[in-house]
Amino acid sequence: MRRGRFAVLLVLSMAFAGCLGPSTASWGTDNGELDVQFSQESTTVTSGLGSETMKLTDLEAVGCSTDSGTGERSLTSFADDNADPTTITFTGYLAASNFYSSHPDTGGAKGLDFGVATSVAIQDMTFKEAENVLDGEGARIDIKNWDKPLTPETGAGSVDLDEIDRDSDTQWYILGLIPTSENIHDGLTALDEWHQAVTINGYLVQTNTSGSSTVGYYTNQGVDQDCNLAIGSNNYESAYVFVTSIELAEASISSNGESDDEWVHGDVAFIGRTGYLLFFLAFGIGGGFGAFILSKMFVLQGAKSTMKTLLGKAGMDTIKQVKQDVKSAKSSGLVSPTERKKEARKHAAKNNPQESKKDDSGPPLAAFDLDSVLSSGPSMGSTTEFGGGGSSVVETIESQEMAREIFEQSEVETPAWQAPSPMRSSAPPRQTHSSVTSSVTSSDPPTQPREHFTTSAPVSKKSAGPPKKKSVRKRKSPPAQVEQAREEPNPEPPKESRKTFDEPEEDFSDFSF
């Protein structure tokens, strides 16, 4: 999973290749912006990179001129009579650079430091020698603090700029670059890539108010025959520079931005920005989409092969036939039961919008309402209630029908001679011993028969109708006994016993039983 995320991040980062750059000041006269009105005779720098906007005027450009008599090169201001100097070059190996979006007051910047947009450290050598420096073999500088454009603080590295003196083996330019146009200001971001060959063309800065000992201004420096600024005996030269153009190994930056090989922020070597965008769209997005389609085809092919192995040829043919039947059914206008159910639900939801708003997210029995079930009427007829209050017993019409069926069945199955008498005495039968004979007169009144509790309400007896026989649940007799019972004639009903028995008196001296 992590590898997949890293691959996606790597592909997306390609879209920003060449488009990311350092944070620099904007071009303009407002707060946080820099504006330079360059003129060879007089230049004005308006800087909003400090706590407040300041304007530096009466800045003169100093360039490289040729003595008509001797042919020697020297530095001359445009303010001199009959002087037409050219730009000074600073060529070498770019070892470090720093960009300024602002100059804090606590950093120690002062004067023209607020007009510097970029500071660079360049090791003095020819352009070809700088191109031939292999990666890792050039000077490596560890920057600690570069708040002051012309005095960086460096630490451990192959070269410590703080330790450069007359005993050092290398010579260095520490330049505070002041762009002379907006295109130069935007092109300075090309110096964010260290360890490359570079040539900066421009002018030194001179002012009437600056003394000869002020760091960064023109102080009688010299140039060689190629108009390269000569480095003094200390192997270290610091200067403010009005930049007019920059030359790189494969591009250049001009004041008007109309050079044939003009460098543009976000440009990509060989193919350019347009070619890179087309390449990314074609091979990045298109390649990813193609890889997705290809992988999906492989997965489907594998699934199809597995299914063919499991089902066999006959099963695959059956599946194909089912697919064809489904397609033909759809083309003929047939609708599946699932679709019919969906349409019915939609139609019901339209007709009953209140029911569609009910929450069906709960469990299946969440919508069951016991009160609504009890309050609704029975499926058939009315019910009979026994008792009263909250503890009544309800007998439905179904239970009444079931009791009637049981009663009718018992009448059919029970023989007449086994039918119980309508009046049953609740008193137990008397037992007499064979040796004892007596005349007993029963004076007890007849007791009422006990009634068993049933779920049916007591029915009032009608005088006209015969009394209903009480159903007695008996086991079903075997077929032989049933046939025998049918063949036997009905016995005569027993005669009513007399309540008074007149028997001769006997001797009751023997009370043994």
How many structural domains is the chain composed of? Answer: 2
What backbone torsions phi and psi does residue 35 show, to the nearest 5 degrees? -140, 135
pLDDT score recorded for residue 351: 78
How many residues are there in the chain? 513
Report the distance separating Cα 172 and Cα 174, nearest Å: 6
CB 174 within 8 A of CB 121: yes
Element (H, E) at 197: strand 196-207
The answer to whether residues 321 and 177 belong to one domain is: no
The answer to whether residues 230 and 295 belong to one domain is: no
CB 180 within 8 A of CB 255: yes
Hunting for tokens 């008498």 — which residue is that?
421
Residues 240-274: tens digit of each pLDDT? 999 999 999 988 999 998 888 888 876 666 666 67
The answer to whether residues 235 and 321 belong to one domain is: no
The answer to whether residues 337 and 219 belong to one domain is: no
pLDDT score recorded for residue 176: 95
Element (H, E) at 396: none
Residues 486-510: tens digit of each pLDDT? 555 555 555 554 444 445 555 555 5
The answer to whether residues 247 and 110 belong to one domain is: yes
Pairing relationship of beta strands 172-179 and 26-27 according to DSSP bridges:
unpaired
Q: 233 lies in which domain range? A: 21-265
Answer yes or no: is 503 within a domain.
no
CB-CB neighbours of 399 under 10 Å: 14
Answer yes or no: is 364 within a domain.
no
User: Of 319, 346, 373, which closes a domain?
Assistant: 346
The answer to whether residues 208 and 251 belong to one domain is: yes
Element (H, E) at 487: helix 479-487
Answer yes or no: is 6 within a domain.
no
Residue 93: is it exposed, middle or buried by C-beta count within 10 angstroms (0-12/13-18/19+)?
buried
User: Of 346, 372, 406, which closes a domain?
Assistant: 346
Report the distance separating Cα 79 and Cα 203, nearest Å: 13
Mean pLDDT of 409-432: 51
DSSP structural state of residue 216:
B
Return the structure tokens found at 301: 């092919």
Report the distance separating Cα 39 and Cα 45, nearest Å: 11
Pairing relationship of beta strands 33-37 and 43-47 according to DSSP bridges:
antiparallel
The model's confidence at residue 143, banded by pLDDT at 50, 70 and 90, is very high
The answer to whether residues 282 and 226 belong to one domain is: no
Answer yes or no: is 494 within a domain.
no
Hunting for tokens 């360059």 — which residue is that?
38
Report the distance separating Cα 44 and Cα 115, nearest Å: 10
Residue 355 pLDDT exceeds 60 = no
Answer yes or no: is 311 within a domain.
yes
Residues 288-301: tens digit of each pLDDT? 888 889 898 999 98
The answer to whether residues 260 and 321 belong to one domain is: no
CB 62 within 8 A of CB 77: yes
The answer to whether residues 328 and 256 belong to one domain is: no
The answer to whether residues 212 and 312 belong to one domain is: no
Q: Out of 42-51, 157-166, 433-442, pick the least confident.
A: 433-442
Answer yes or no: is 386 within a domain.
no
User: Of 218, 241, 265, which closes a domain?
Assistant: 265
Residue partners of 125: CB distance under 8 A and separation at least 6? 91, 92, 93
The answer to whether residues 115 and 201 belong to one domain is: yes
CB 481 within 8 A of CB 434: no
Q: CA 98, 101, 105: angle at the middle one, nearest 5?
A: 95
Q: CA 139, 144, 146: angle at the middle one, nearest 5?
A: 95
Answer yes or no: is 491 within a domain.
no
The answer to whether residues 250 and 282 belong to one domain is: no
